Amino acid sequence: MSFREQAVVFPCQQESLVGVVCRPETAASVAVLIVVGGPQYRAGSHRQFVLLARYLADHGFASLRFDVRGMGDGTGEPRGFAATAEDIAAALAAFSDIEPAVSRFVLWGLCDGATAAAIYAPTDRRVCGLVLLNPWVRTASSQARTYLKHYYPRRLLDIDFWRKLLRGEVRLRDALRRFVASFPGLVRWKMGVGLGAGSAPELADGIVDALRRAHGRSLVVLSGRDYVAREFEEAVAEVPAFSDQLAQGRIDVLHFNEADHTFSSSAAREAVAAATAQWVCHAGH
């Protein structure tokens, strides 16, 4: 299927945001808003967002990928994922003007873009679904817990690690310093202190509650080779409502065991794009 791409500039709280609409010749009534997070702009790591948008257009879905304030070509100061609701709302308004036949939207995000999309979703009835890749819930304590549980045991069983160590290619002093430095964070998690606002438990609770209140279903995509994904799994395991929503079919979870955080391989990117298109098709019905 052929498609067209159109650059757009639209306002957001006295600032200007820049995006690219990718549309097929005949678009479905549901479209995808790609929410960019972290130090990213609308192309995405390894051009993932560009390739995703074109794949979706090939399968009949229009999309908009855009720069939030302070990132890429977006004017203003960077604000962080917790303060992007106005950016998402402005993008949906611009998208609706460009595609008036579209009545429902799926928000798609990676890392803290996924977290921002989840937080926004309950506030807008036009949002009929969410696709969330490796949602961000990290704090120092959650990172320490995840590394001690997943990273260090794997390293100790890695033959290549021991070979490099014996050849002097691993700076043992630095490795030990990093290992010891992780303990304060683990102790804080064990004691339940020092978590504060925006901690992993609070973020996990907030995301799960947002998914419960959202006006559609959600797909959570987790990479096998990513500690952000492991942190998310650890955090939501302590939120009973997450299991409840899984049982009710409001949340689907999809694992890509060989993928890294940004799905950097072409095989991983294509698999995610295919899964997104298939899921959006179901979400639109």
pLDDT of residue 69: 97
Mean pLDDT along residues 256-272: 96
pLDDT of residue 203: 84
| 54: Cα within 13 Å, side-chain hemisphere | 9
| HEC-encoded secondary structure of the chain | CCEEEEEEEEEECCEEEEEEEEEECCCCCEEEEEECCCCCCCCCHHHHHHHHHHHHHHCCCCEEEECCCCCCCCCCCCCCHHHCHHHHHHHHHHHHHHCCCCCEEEEEEECHHHHHHHHHHHHCCCEEEEEEECCCCCCHHHHHHHHHHHHHHHHHCCHHHHHHHHCCCCCHHHHHHHHHHCHHHHHHHHHCCCCCCCCHHHHHHHHHHHHHHCCCEEEEEEEEECHHHHHHHHHHCCCHHHHHHHHCCCEEEEEEEEEECCCCCHHHHHHHHHHHHHHHHHHCC
Share of the chain above pLDDT 90, in %: 68
pLDDT of residue 38: 83
pLDDT of residue 196: 38
pLDDT of residue 148: 56
Range from 77-91, 148-162, 261-275 carrying the lowest mean pLDDT: 148-162
Mean pLDDT along residues 139-153: 55
CA distance 53 to 108: 11
Of residues 217 and 284, the one with the higher pLDDT is 217
Range from 122-126, 163-167, 197-201, 249-253 carrying the lowest mean pLDDT: 197-201
Range from 78-82, 110-114, 119-123 carrying the lowest mean pLDDT: 78-82
Residue 140 clears pLDDT 80, i.e. is over it = no
Residue 266 clears pLDDT 70, i.e. is over it = yes
Per residue in 199-223, pLDDT (tens digit) is 455 788 999 999 999 999 999 999 9
Domains of the chain: 3-139+198-283 (3.40.50.1820), 141-191 (no CATH)
Mean pLDDT along residues 75-81: 92
Range from 9-23, 85-99, 134-148, 190-204 carrying the lowest mean pLDDT: 190-204
Of residues 173 and 8, the one with the higher pLDDT is 8
Mean pLDDT along residues 8-36: 96
Mean pLDDT along residues 27-50: 94
Per residue in 154-193, pLDDT (tens digit) is 655 567 655 665 666 656 555 556 545 544 544 443 434 3
